[in-house]
Each structure stands twice: as structure tokens, then as C-alpha cells.
Structure 1
Amino acid sequence: MWTPIAEEAERATRVLHPDALQLPRPARRRVLTVANQKGGVGKTTSTVNLAAALALHHLKVLVIDLDPQGNASTALGVEHRSGTPSIYEVLIGEISLADAAAPSNQTDNLVCVPATIDLAGAEIELVSMAARESRLKEALSPEALDSLQPDYVFIDCPPSLGLLTLNAMVAAQEVLIPIQCEYYALEGLSQLLGNIELVQQHLNPDLDVSTILLTMYDGRTKLADQVTTEVRNHFQERVLKTVIPRSVKVSEAPGFGQTIITYDPGSRGAMSYLDAAKELAVRGAEMGTT
């Protein structure tokens, strides 16, 4: 007999036991910076849930937490108290990337380089360092990444356009921009795109805004549809077909040190991030054929 609870349980089973679905490996290792200087758009939430969804489907994923708040580290169940080996020590050259990487307790194949409160002062320290905008790129050298062998690297940025975000853009090949389906969604987006263009011109000509993810979609409002249409018209094929709905469960999950994939695997939020991850994986596989 069909019931809503039975349907959700069946969806949860499909999510947590995805052996029947093997997502394709990317044609080459993908390094994506997840950036938006506007806070509260689902940037960290999207980073950790996309990473967990890909890892659940047997792809190896590395998350770099570059936000001093350490929210991505929290959601992935990785220790990030002061004194923990973190991305801060990697940036200033004290330890290697592999020394700071810690396995997530969310799923196999998922590793995180955490952020501690020490990262809060990193922008000031980096100012006086040589090649200050390329510190992360040096840390993410092919040799360093080969030691961890990730298929995907996600860099979670702070909600600003400072030196940490600049380091992330110089180190990455792609930018993934989460955009909320609300009134102020596009406010400041031109500034972000302008900064990306400057990075392309002067520091990283290979950087590409490859992916736009619409988040916090509320189908009850006409405004959400208007924002969605405007973003799709402007960015066209860069926008993922999957839209992430506004969800209390998605917001709750980090408070329990989990992603939505493990916290409530049968929920609409989990299924949406799973679908978005599938799109991301298929696009990654197609890169080698275009």
C-alpha cells in the first residue's frame, strides 16, 4: 500500500544503496571553486552535498574548506578545532595537502581539508608573502593531488571577494556559482563576474564559469520562477536543469554534523542534490568528447 512514508523510505534506500547507478568519472580531474560573495545563497550547503552525492556513487572527492567559519568541515564531520592540521598551515607552507586531509565520516571516498579559526587572519598574513594569490595553486599541485587521487576537488570560499577567494580562483579550472531564487539573487553578481574576468585576464586564463546552480527554489512564489527564467536566459546551458528546493531539512543537517544525503536521504533536498551531482558527473565525462 502506498503511503508518503513508504515512498520516502523507498527513495532513501535508493540514495543510500546506489550500486545500480555508477556515475561516470570525469575526462580529467575537475577542480571547482564554489563562489558567491553574497552570503546565505547555499554555497557551503551545495559544496558538501554535491561532494557527498558524488562520493556516494564511488567517485573520489576532496573538499577544501577555505571559509574561516569552517561550516563545510562541520557538515562533513571533520574535526576543525584550533590546532588541527588545516588549510591555514597548507597555505603558509608548514604542511602538505595530504597532511591536512582528513576522511569524512559521511561516506567513503570523501576527504576534507578543514578550516580552523586560524584561517581568519590568513588574508593579512598572505599580503606580505611572495606569490600571495597563488599559494593555494602551489598547494594543489598535480603531485599533491595525485597523492590523494580525487576525481573532483571542491573549494568552498568565504562570502567575500578577498584574497582567499582569489586564491581559490587562481587554483581552480572551473567556477560553480550557486544563485538563490530570490529577489536579491543577481545583486552583486556582476561584480563577481567582473572579478572572475580579471582573474582570467591576469592570473588564470583557463578559469571558466562552467556551472550555475539554482538554490532555495520555492515553487509557491511567482518570483522564484521569474528569477529562474532570468538566470537561464542569461547563462543558458551553464545552468543545471536541477533546481534545489527551499528545505528545512537541508538547513538542519549541518547542525547534526551531516549532509542532507545522510541526514534525510529520502527527502526532496537529498534527491535534488543527487540529481544535480548526476548532471555534474555527466558533464564532466562529456568534457573529453567535446
Structure 2
Amino acid sequence: MGKIIAIANQKGGVGKTTTAVNLAACLGVLEKKVLLIDADPQANATSGLGLDVEEIEQGTYQLIENSVPAADLVLQTESPNVDIIPAHIDLVAIEIELVDKESREYMMRTALASIQDNYDYIIIDCAPSLGLLTLNALTASNSVLIPIQCEYFALEGLGKLLNTVKSVQKIHNTNLDIEGLLLTMYDSRLRLSNQVVEEVNQHFEGLTFKTIIQRNVRLSEAPSYGESIINYDASSKGSENYLSLANELIQKNA
């Protein structure tokens, strides 16, 4: 049965989508069958894997609505072993539409049950908020991976997110684990970056991935070409980092 991992942080710009796309691609290269679900109305994970968002007719919106079978929403990508359920701007409306539905927090979980066995990993790229969309993702997942930017405000908001995870564990999904905290946008030349790494490791020992994602120009360029870092520049530092993360994840779940 495939492991479902939500990549979540209510702070924007911490590397959620970058991590979702590149972790999925690197797991694929390591011969794992992966499904990436774009659960962010900005649809950056969809375009980041080379799909034209304008041409998307159905995706995560229909998945959560349970109006189309999950298997019919899956598209193949150029990345080996990686499929995607894409997002579209329509996804913005889903939170309003779910408000008066019964069991609204479980819609995604219900929808994914039919295809979970087809994959080794299902990765959900969450929106930068703690709304119903993210709640659906956390309720459907086995674990949550939290990217943390190596910046001054990094730890601000982390407490809030961990409290949300706790309440989801208590009320909606007792099996939800924390897969790990991932330090992103690390710059070894900056004292601040090193301080954040030190602090996170000190406060969350055992919860933090050994792999640290470094600042890398190629990593920033890749999405504009609709490619993952491993397709765009396999020899770059970013590619090295995400392959290391994928290996660490596989070993952790072996």
C-alpha cells in the first residue's frame, strides 16, 4: 500500500512545491512509483512538471468533490515513474463548497482509497494555509513533511502548524505521523542560516532530516522550464540534495 505524505506549512515561500515536485521526481528516478497531487490552487506543482494549467479540465477539485473516480484524474508526466493529479484555479472554490458537506474533512481520503495500492508514494503539495484543503490532505495522509526555510521567521508559525497536526491526530486521523522537518534554502555563508539549523536540530532532535536543501540557482530556474531539477540539471547541487532526501525517505520507510 502506498504511503501518503502531505508536504505542508502555512507559511508561503518555504519550498513546499519545490520539495513536492523534486522529491517526487527523485523517488521516480530511484524506481519508486509516485503520484503527485497538486492541492494548491496556484497549481505550481502542475506547471512545474511541464503541464499547461490552462488546458487542465479536471483534477484535484473533482477528486475532493468525489465527482470523478480518482483513477480517471491521473495524468502521466515526463518524469519517469511519476504521475500527477493536477490543479486548476477552480480549486479556490472548493473550501466554500465543502463547508456544509457531511464528513467534509474526509473527502480526499475516501477518493484516494481506490488508487493507493497503485503507488509506492503519494505526495500531496498543500496550499500555504491551514484551511479545509490542507485539512483534507492531512486527514488523508500517513505522515506530514514540513519544509522550514533557513530564515529569521522560520520557527515562527511552526508551533501553530504542529498544533494543527496534533488536533488532526486527535480528531480526524490518529495515524498521522510527522515524517520530518526539512531545512530548505540553506546558505552556508550566512550566520543566520547556521543558527536556524542549530536551533531546529536542538529543539526537534530526531525529527529533522539529515539532508539540508541548499540555495541553488538551478533549482530556481527549473520550474520555468516545466522540469524537475533532476531532468533540468542532474549534476546540480539541488539535484544532489533532493536525491539524498529521496534516499533518506526510502531508508526511513524500509
Question: Counterpart of 1:9?
Answer: none
The amino acid of 1:244's aligned partner reads I
CA distance, structure 1, for counterparts of residue 165 and residue 122 of structure 2: 19
CA-CA distance at 1:144 after TM superposition: 2.6
CA-CA distance at 1:97 after TM superposition: 1.0
The answer to whether the 8 Å contact 2:149/2:184 transfers is yes
Q: Which ranges of structure 1 fall in alignment gaps of 5 or more residues?
A: 1-27, 286-290
238-247 vs 158-167, which moves further: 238-247
Aligned residues: 254
1:136 aligned onto 2:108? yes
The within-5 A match list for 1:1-290 is 29-81=2-54, 84-105=57-78, 107-141=79-113, 143-146=114-117, 149-285=118-254
The answer to whether the 8 Å contact 1:82/1:116 transfers is no
CA distance, structure 1, for counterparts of residue 56 and residue 29 of structure 2: 30
The answer to whether the 8 Å contact 2:2/2:116 transfers is no
Match of 2:54, SS state, is coil
The answer to whether the 8 Å contact 1:79/1:114 transfers is no
The amino acid of 1:122's aligned partner reads I
The answer to whether the 8 Å contact 1:85/1:99 transfers is no
CA-CA distance at 1:83 after TM superposition: 5.2
CA distance, structure 1, for counterparts of residue 122 and residue 56 of structure 2: 24
Match of 2:253, SS state, is helix
Q: Deviations over 1:88-129 (max 9, x none)?
A: 011112101111110111x22100000001101110001121
The answer to whether the 8 Å contact 1:65/1:112 transfers is yes
Larger Cα Rg: Structure 1 or Structure 2?
1
Match of 1:47, SS state, is helix
Match of 1:138, SS state, is helix
CA distance, structure 1, for counterparts of residue 245 and residue 139 of structure 2: 25
Determine what percentage of the aligned residue pairs are the same residue.
48
CA-CA distance at 1:79 after TM superposition: 3.9
Q: Deviations over 1:249-279 (max 9, x none)?
A: 1111111101111111111111111111110
CA distance, structure 2, for counterparts of residue 198 and residue 114 of structure 1: 28
TM-score between both structures, scaled by the size of structure 2: 0.97
TM-score between both structures, scaled by the size of structure 1: 0.85
CA-CA distance at 1:47 after TM superposition: 0.7
The answer to whether the 8 Å contact 1:78/1:103 transfers is no
CA distance, structure 2, for counterparts of residue 83 and residue 65 of structure 1: 12
Q: Which ranges of structure 2 fall in alignment gaps of 5 or more residues?
A: none
Match of 1:59, SS state, is coil
